[in-house]
């Protein structure tokens, strides 16, 4: 009995001495594994960046927490163990985070995306559809069949923005291109994603991309079948050395540092914080060897135009699937409008579920 | 079996008596489980003793932890009853998960239909809807069994998937909240359709339903004519029939009652825990309830503490991630370990005492 007791004592002592050194405890909740080479991996890279760049910060994380009310308990546990800033990183956590935020008014919450805030809950996200638009250009210039395939999880605005941006990018260089969409109804369902990838290729698509938590499944299927792939969330080029074109990837670290520092120095405010290509929170990955020099030059030129704000992805004219004009020439969608997007653009095949 | 009762004065025989007592297998099970979990932690390279205590604290250590344990207890308790009652008639149902989903489906449907009604009307309607939904998912396999001789284990297993997919269909389709920006879930329940909770925690009426139902079932099955009839029918339906006990009717009855209890668990999760119907409403409660029912030996009162224990195990899995970064699946592994230990120790003990 003596030994377990002393271990227990030692571990409590150690725990208290660590918490005495660290001033701010930051907790992260992930919907999938942090090793998914995708969405959760990218968020976790942000967490590691935070630990590296802020000495007085200690982080902890929970993986594989479903988007149901279980996440409330997980967040409460974190807060009860001393966490002062919570990063609920998945779309479906928002309503649950708002509930917990109301119960713990002294804790700050930074939720990934969404359009709701409260006194102590802000959202952060980045306009990664800019990078998806550029990746679409690379896809549109590379495809030989003029058919692109998109594997999508849920028809939420963020996903629709990526499908539409990718398609508009491709059609800006190759008006013949169409994008077929298959919905998987889940952020992570490897077998469904692989089946969808096979089906899209069978249907003639020769560039695959998607918006599910991990790009690995469709990138690997594309590589096996000898077609091209465009990644999403994180650089997965090592899974497709032959067919990798480029990817739209996150870089959360600096944004997370800003958020945590704003809490520490008292300047935190409840807001919708958004990054983009210019701030570097959304980026284009390196190009793969399959991309031609002409394509790279075109993409780089358009990237510069977006960075210089000479071109905006959501500037009209934007035509819907049915051919009707949704945004007239001369108009540009506002941030609020894009984050409520509920349509597919001309050139996308497949319906909203 | 125990012939030493007369010589209780000698300390050695006293010890023997204690060892042969009813608590010995339970104590062995607990010790074996503690040892196995610690071994599991050690194999994963974690400090076993401290982590085990963290886990216990995560389930039962303070008021908040215990309240979250009780939140998990409610659906486990109700689904365990939904399995144990048919088992009293010799039926092996595994359908509590599907019945839970059907209860949530019908209950939510009622809420959507009677959305603007006041709480005093809406709440009973919702609960009635949920009970009907769950009962239907019990009656279908019961009819398949009595009319067509379809094995109830297989039909309830398959109906689980149907139930889960039906919920998935409505939340992705006809019942999707038009203002949820594409997110698959129904609208939030109105205030009047949220079951009451206790003491500023998430512990809700579902727990009370479960405990009351367990007590009523215990009395009915052990004390009433009907309960005796179940026993007779279980051992020999033909003998039962000559005594005027209809096996077919009882199959329908136990499956329907079991289903309505699981249905209550489903609507409680949707109403008070999630505040809406959505996918992944209660992944796995039905299966855990099945384990609890069989661990209890279909004893309704024993189901109550066992459900609390299992709820604690599910809720305390957080601490494994929080303090040791062990994945969430660790709780499932420990649950399986517990189940195997209980079965193995129980089996060995029976063999030993029979020998």
Helix axis angle, B152-172 to B119-148, nearest 10°: 140
Q: pLDDT value at position B354? A: 67
Q: How many CB atoms lie within 10 A of CB B17?
A: 15
**Is residue B23 domain-resident?**
no
Measure A4 CA to nearest chain B CA, in Å: 6
Please report whether residue B55 resides in a domain: no
**pLDDT value, residue B343:** 82
**Nearest chain A residue to B279, by CA:** A68
Do the domain assignments include residue B2? no
DSSP β-bridge partners for residue A325: A319
Out of B71, B183, B327, whose CB is closest to A63?
Answer: B327
CB atoms within 10 A of CB B235: 10
Determine whether the interchain pair A185/B168 forms a contact, defined as Cβ–Cβ distance below 8 Å.
Answer: yes
Q: Residue A8 is nearest to which of B50, B64, B321, comparing CB atoms? A: B50
CB contact under 8 A, A68 and B172: no
Residues ≥6 apart with Cβ < 8 Å to A113: A91, A94, A123, A124, A125, A158, A339
Which of A31, A40, A69 should we substitute to test contact with B (largest number of B Cβ atoms within 10 Å)? A69
Question: Which residue from A minimizes the CA distance to B180?
Answer: A156
Non-local (6+) Cβ contacts of A33 within 8 A are A40, A63, A64, B327
Contacts of B74 in chain A (CB under 8 A): none
Structural domain tally of chain B?
Answer: 1
User: Hey, which residues 114-133 in chain A have their CB within 8 Å of chain B?
Assistant: 115
Per-residue confidence (pLDDT) for residue B183, from 0 to 100? 85
Q: E-strand spans in A153-222?
A: 178-183, 207-211
Mean pLDDT of B111-118: 92
The Cα diameter of chain A in Å comes to: 78
B250 belongs to a structural domain: yes
A139-153 burial, b at 16+ Cβ within 10 Å, e below that, comes to: bbbbbeebbbbbbbb
Decide if B50 and A11 are in contact by the 8 Å CB cutoff: yes
Yes or no, beta carbons of A63 and B321 under 8 Å apart: yes
3-state helix, strand, coil in chain A (%, to 5): 40, 20, 35
CATH number at residue B146: 1.10.3470
List of domains in chain A = 19-126+252-275 (3.40.50.2300), 129-249+281-349 (3.40.50.2300)
A68, B321: Cβ pair inside 8 Å? Answer: no
Please report the pLDDT score of residue A18 as a whole number: 47
Angstrom distance (rounded) from CA A27 to CA A35: 17
Set of chain B residues whose Cβ sits within 8 Å of the Cβ of A81: 322
Q: For residue B318, give the nearest of A77, A154, A155 by CB distance.
A: A77
Is B328 in CB contact (< 8 Å) with chain A?
yes
| Closest alpha carbon within chain B to A68 | B274
Residue of A nearest to B323 (CA): A60
Residue B112: inside a domain: yes
Q: DSSP 3-state assignment of A6?
A: helix
Inter-chain touch B172–A353, beta carbons under 8 Å: yes
With CB atoms and an 8 Å threshold, state whether A159 touches B182: yes
Neighbour-count burial of A225, counting CB atoms closer than 10 A to its CB (0-12 exposed, 13-18 middle, 19+ buried): middle
Question: Which residues in chain A are closer than 8 Å to B183, comparing Cβ atoms?
Answer: 91-92, 154, 156
CA distance A186 to A193: 10
**pLDDT number for residue B216:** 96
Within 13 A of B344's CA, how many CA atoms are on the CB side? 11
* Cβ–Cβ gap B181/A185 under 8 Å: no
Of B11-25, B130-144, B233-247, minimum mean pLDDT range: B11-25
CA-based nearest residue in chain A for residue B67: A73
Beta carbons of B50 and A7 less than 8 Å apart:
yes
Residue B211 pLDDT exceeds 80? yes
Q: What is the ipTM of this complex?
A: 0.82
Run of H or E including A348: strand A348-349
Other Cβ atoms closer than 10 A to B142: 28
Q: From B315, which residue of chain A is nearest by alpha-carbon distance?
A: A73
- Residue B64's contacts (CB-CB under 8 Å, 6 or more residues apart) are A76, A80, B201
Radius of gyration of chain A (CA): 21
End-to-end distance of chain A based on CA atoms, in angstroms? Answer: 60
Q: Is B190 on the interface with A (CB under 8 A)?
A: no
Which of B175, B197, B318, B320 has the highest number of chain A CBs within 10 A, making it the mutation to test binding with A?
Answer: B318
What pLDDT score does A10 carry? 52
Report pLDDT digits (tens) over B233-283. Answer: 888 888 888 888 888 999 999 999 999 999 999 999 999 999 999 988 877
What is the 3-class SS of chain B, one letter each residue? CCCCHHHCCCHHHHHHHHHCCCHHHHHHHHHHHHHHHHHHHHHCCCCHHHHHHHHHHHHHCCHHHHHHHHHHHHHHHHHHHHHHHHHCCCCCCCCHHHHHHHHHHHHHHHHHHCCCCCHHHHHHHHHHHHHHHHHHHHHHHHHHHHHHCCCHHHHHHHHHHHHHHHHHHHHHCCCCCCCCCCCCECCCCCHHHCCCECCCCCCEHHHHHHHHHHHHHHHHHHHCHHHHHHHHHHHCHHHHHHCCCCHHHHHHHHHHHHHHHHHHHHHHHHHHHHCCCECCCCCCHHHHHHHHHHHCCCCHHHHHHHHHHHHHHHHHHHHHHHHHCCCCHHHHHHHHHHHHHHHHHHHHHHHHHHC
Q: Do B182 and A342 touch (CB under 8 A)?
A: yes
Interface test with A, best of B67, B186, B321, B326 (most A CBs within 10 A): B321
Domain span holding position B207: 64-354
**Helices B119-148 + B96-113 axis angle, to 10:** 140
- Out of A7, A76, A78, whose CB is closest to B47? A7
Closest by Cα among A28, A40, A27, A31 to A67? A31
Does B4 have pLDDT greater than 70? no
pLDDT in tens, chain A (353 residues): 344 555 555 555 445 444 445 589 999 999 998 989 999 999 999 999 999 999 999 999 999 898 988 899 999 999 999 999 999 999 999 999 999 999 999 999 999 999 899 999 999 999 999 999 999 999 999 999 999 999 999 999 999 999 999 999 999 999 999 999 999 988 999 999 999 999 999 999 999 999 999 999 999 999 999 999 999 999 999 999 999 999 999 999 999 999 999 999 999 999 999 999 999 999 999 999 999 999 999 999 999 999 998 999 999 899 999 999 999 999 999 988 999 999 999 999 988 88
Q: What is the pLDDT of residues B309-349, one digit of tens each?
A: 989 988 888 788 887 888 777 878 888 888 888 888 878 87
Phi, psi of A6 (to 5 degrees): -70, -35
Does residue B281 sit at the A interface (CB-CB below 8 Å)? yes
* Residue A15 and residue A189 in contact, taking contact as beta carbons nearer than 8 Å: no
| Stretch (H or E) spanning A29 | strand A24-29
Does residue B282 lie within any of the structural domains? yes
Q: Closest Cα partner for B316 from B295, B331, B302, B301? A: B331
Question: Is B71 part of a structural domain of the chain?
Answer: yes
Contact A342 B181 (CB under 8 A): yes
Question: Which residues make beta-bridge pairs with A180?
Answer: A149, A349
Q: Tell me whether residue B30 is in a domain.
A: no
Residue B262: per-residue pLDDT? 97
pLDDT value of residue B9: 60
């Amino acid at each position: 009995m003596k030994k377990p007791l002393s271990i227990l004592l030692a571990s409590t002592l150690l725990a208290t001495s660590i918490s005495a050194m660290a001033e701010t405890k930051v907790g992260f909740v992930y919907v999938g594994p942090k090793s998914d080479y995708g969405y959760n991996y990218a968020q976790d890279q942000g967490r590691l960046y935070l630990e590296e760049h802020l000495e007085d910060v200690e982080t902890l994380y929970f993986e594989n927490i479903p988007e149901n009310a279980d996440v409330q308990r997980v967040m409460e546990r974190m807060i009860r163990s001393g966490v002062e800033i919570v990063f609920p990183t998945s779309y479906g956590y928002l309503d649950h985070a708002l509930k917990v935020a109301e119960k713990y008014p002294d804790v700050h919450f930074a939720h990934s995306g969404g359009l709701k805030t409260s006194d102590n809950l802000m959202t952060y996200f980045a306009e990664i559809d800019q990078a998806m638009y550029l990746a679409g250009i690379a896809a549109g210039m590379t495809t030989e069949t003029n058919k692109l395939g998109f594997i999508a999880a849920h028809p939420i605005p963020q996903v629709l923005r990526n499908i539409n941006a990718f398609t508009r990018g491709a059609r800006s260089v190759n008006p013949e291109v169409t994008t077929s969409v298959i919905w998987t109804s889940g952020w992570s369902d490897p077998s469904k994603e692989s089946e969808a990838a096979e089906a899209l290729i069978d249907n003639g698509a020769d560039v695959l991309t998607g918006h599910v938590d991990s790009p690995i499944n469709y990138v690997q299927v594309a590589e096996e079948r000898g077609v091209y792939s465009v990644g999403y969330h994180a650089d997965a080029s090592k899974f497709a050395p032959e067919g990798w074109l480029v990817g739209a990837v996150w870089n959360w670290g600096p944004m997370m540092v800003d958020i945590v520092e704003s809490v520490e120095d008292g300047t935190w405010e409840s807001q919708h914080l958004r990054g983009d290509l210019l701030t570097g929170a959304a980026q284009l990955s390196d190009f793969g060897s399959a991309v031609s020099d002409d394509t790279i030059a075109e993409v780089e030129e358009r990237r510069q135009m977006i960075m210089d704000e000479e071109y905006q992805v959501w500037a009209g004219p934007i035509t819907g699937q049915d051919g009707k004009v949704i945004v007239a020439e001369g108009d540009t969608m506002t941030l609020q409008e894009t984050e409520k997007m509920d349509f597919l653009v001309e050139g996308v095949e497949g319906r909203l579920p | 079996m125990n012939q030493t009762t007369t010589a209780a004065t000698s300390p050695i025989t006293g010890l023997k008596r204690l060892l042969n007592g009813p608590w010995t297998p339970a104590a062995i099970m607990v010790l074996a489980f503690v040892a196995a979990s610690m071994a599991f932690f050690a194999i994963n390279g974690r400090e076993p003793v401290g982590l085990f205590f963290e886990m216990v604290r995560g389930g039962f250590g303070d008021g908040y932890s215990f309240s979250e344990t009780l939140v998990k207890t409610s659906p486990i308790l109700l689904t365990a009853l939904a399995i144990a009652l048919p088992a009293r008639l010799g039926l092996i149902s595994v359908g509590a998960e599907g019945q839970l989903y059907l209860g949530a489906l019908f209950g939510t449907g009622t809420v959507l239909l009677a959305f603007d009604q006041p709480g005093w009307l809406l709440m009973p309607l919702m609960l009635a809807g949920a009970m009907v939904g769950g009962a239907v998912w019990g009656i279908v396999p019961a009819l398949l069994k009595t009319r067509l001789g379809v094995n109830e284990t297989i039909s309830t297993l398959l109906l689980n998937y149907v139930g889960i997919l039906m919920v998935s269909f409505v939340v992705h389709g006809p019942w999707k909240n038009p203002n949820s920006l594409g997110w698959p879930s129904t609208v939030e329940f109105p205030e009047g359709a949220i079951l009451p909770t206790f003491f500023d925690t998430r512990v809700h009426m579902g727990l009370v339903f479960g405990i009351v139902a367990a007590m009523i079932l215990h009395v009915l099955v052990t004390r009433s004519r009907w309960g005796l009839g179940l026993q007779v029918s279980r051992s020999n339906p033909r003998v039962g029939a000559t005594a005027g006990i209809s096996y077919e009717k009882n199959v329908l009855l136990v499956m329907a009652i079991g289903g309505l209890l699981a249905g209550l668990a489903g609507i409680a999760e949707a109403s008070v825990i999630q505040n809406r119907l959505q996918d992944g409403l209660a992944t796995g409660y039905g299966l855990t309830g099945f384990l609890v029912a069989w661990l209890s030996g279909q004893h309704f009162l024993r189901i109550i503490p066992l459900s609390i224990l299992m709820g604690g195990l599910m809720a305390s899995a957080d601490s494994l991630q929080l303090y040791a970064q062990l994945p969430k699946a660790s709780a499932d592994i420990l649950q399986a370990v517990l189940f195997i230990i209980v079965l193995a120790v129980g089996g060995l003990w029976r063999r030993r005492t029979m020998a």
